[in-house]
Amino acid sequence: METVRIGNDTVSEQPLWSAGAPANSGMPPGRTKRIHCVDLFAGAGGLSLAALRAGFFVVAAVENNPHACDTYRTNLVSDSFPVLYQQDITALSPSELMRAHFADGDVCDVVLGGPPCQGFSVHRFRNAGVDDRRNLLLLTYFEFVVALQPKYFLVENVPGMLWERHRPFLDAFYSQGRQSGYCVYPPVILDARDYGVPQRRKRVFVLGVRRDVTHPAQWPPPATHGSPRLCAENPKLKPWLVCGPVFSAPVPDGDENDVHMNHSPALVEVFRNTPPNGGSRTASGRVLDCHKNHDGHSDVYGRIDPYQPAPTMTTACINPSKGRFVHPTEHYGITVRQAARLQTFPDTFVFKGGIMAAGCQIGNAVPIRLGEQLLKVLYDLAWSHP
């Protein structure tokens, strides 16, 4: 157990970025069969890593981005598993994937995946994104569900997918689920900080359960952490984790992800003039033309407050011009490693493709600690079902 002092508070937590992903054996102690899963739109492998930690045998993963695939292979592929399909998922036949991996009597227990969410993004205004072809990938995901017939499937996406203008896609998804023999649970918005992640991050999760298998007693699983008010009402809750330890703990020697953006001397001076521990750009004395007569985007070039959960790690999380992504006390944007820690990736997990590609992979990932808690529920159900 590591104890980290943040100001006058002492926080005792097992480091969230410690190693510990199990080998892809799918046979935790006391269990006598493998529980198989397939990860679609796998990205760098956040959900795959969470699945491994929950006990799954990850059979296959599908991802198109070459940098994300390089990261996935580097960290997660061992002894030829998972089999990584580096290609456009729309060019991959669901029936061929079924025959390749489940033709000999093995069953697919769980299908995972987060279809690209840019079409549903909250940063797209008015009717932007309505006709975005990426929205159709939600239905492509279900084509694999139909072919693989898993006991459970889990979809992750941004809250924007629930906006009224995207309703046709979600309605079609639910309709296909019902017609294919699944009970598709209502979408739930979960905040990662409620599950022990030191970051404010709201995402939508949709669970599907085949009608002939056991349903969860409670979904989603109960939160483990909460606000001061909720902790006072429920003594079982732990306080939200602050993000300070992410920045104060040492980084392993030679970590290739211990890098941040190179900033101009003028921008470094702006950071130097920005108050530490949560200061905003407005206090730096720097006002750009785009900021004049404009009240929005006040967080850009702001410092992260180490006494609070961090802001949401976006695909531009290592770029201070895109949000509150400046180090709490140092005069530069956060490093790739610090962003990864805020997503609870272990320090042993190495991101490939350079600093911008790494930031994008981190921002697209499901926090490991959140994913593990959700998938542990599905693992236990799948293991108990014949």
Per residue in 54-68, pLDDT tens? 999 999 999 999 999
What are the residues facing 205 on neighbouring strands? 156, 188
Contacts 24+ apart (CB under 8 A), 187-192: 187/161, 187/162, 188/219, 188/220, 189/159, 189/162, 190/220, 190/370, 192/367, 192/369, 192/370
User: Quick one: 163 exposed, middle or buried, by C-beta within 10 A (0-12, 13-18, 19+)?
Assistant: middle
User: What phi and psi values does residue 60 have, to the nearest 5 degrees?
Assistant: -150, 155
Local structure of residue 242 (DSSP, 8 states): P
14 vs 158, higher pLDDT: 158
Contact 66, 138 (CB under 8 A): no
Peptide bond into 245 cis (omega under 30): no
Q: Are strands 188-191 and 202-210 parallel, antiparallel or unpaired?
A: antiparallel
Please say if the pLDDT value at position 250 is more than 90: yes
Distance, in Å, from the CA atom of 151 to the CA atom of 144, rounded to the nearest integer, reads 13
Please say if the pLDDT value at position 131 is more than 80: no
The average pLDDT across 136-144 equals 90
pLDDT attached to residue 124: 42
Q: Minimum mean pLDDT among 78-87, 159-168, 189-198, 239-248: which range?
A: 159-168
Q: How confident is the model at residue 287 (pLDDT cuts 50, 70, 90)?
A: low
Please say if the pLDDT value at position 16 is more than 50: yes
Q: How confident is the model at residue 298 (pLDDT cuts 50, 70, 90)?
A: low
Q: Which two tokens stand for residue 188?
A: 């739930």
The average pLDDT across 192-211 equals 97
Q: How confident is the model at residue 240 (pLDDT cuts 50, 70, 90)?
A: very high
pLDDT attached to residue 49: 97
Q: Which two tokens stand for residue 155?
A: 């979809």
Distance, in Å, from the CA atom of 366 to the CA atom of 47, rounded to the nearest integer, reads 6
pLDDT attached to residue 2: 35
Residues in contact with 279: Cβ distance below 8 Å, sequence separation at least 6, in sequence order: 302, 303
Which of the four CATH numbers 3.30.930.10, 3.40.50.150, 3.40.50.1980, 2.60.40.1180 does domain 27-226+367-384 have? 3.40.50.150
Please say if the pLDDT value at position 152 is more than 50: yes
The fraction of the chain above a pLDDT of 70, given in percent, is 85
User: What phi and psi values does residue 279 have, to the nearest 5 degrees?
Assistant: -65, 150
Backbone CA torsion sign across 219, 225, 226, 230: positive
Please say if the pLDDT value at position 81 is more than 80: yes
| Exposure letters 205-219 (e unless 16+ CB within 10 A, then b) | bbbbbbeebeeeeee
Please say if the pLDDT value at position 149 is more than 80: yes
Question: pTM score > 0.75 for this model?
Answer: yes
Q: Which two tokens stand for residue 356?
A: 């911008």
Indicate if 117 belongs to the active site: yes
Q: How confident is the model at residue 12 (pLDDT cuts 50, 70, 90)?
A: very low
Q: How confident is the model at residue 293 (pLDDT cuts 50, 70, 90)?
A: low
Mean pLDDT over the full length of the chain: 88
Q: Write down the catalytic residue from 37, 108, 117, 360.
A: 117
Residues in contact with 211: Cβ distance below 8 Å, sequence separation at least 6, in sequence order: 181, 182, 183
pLDDT attached to residue 24: 77
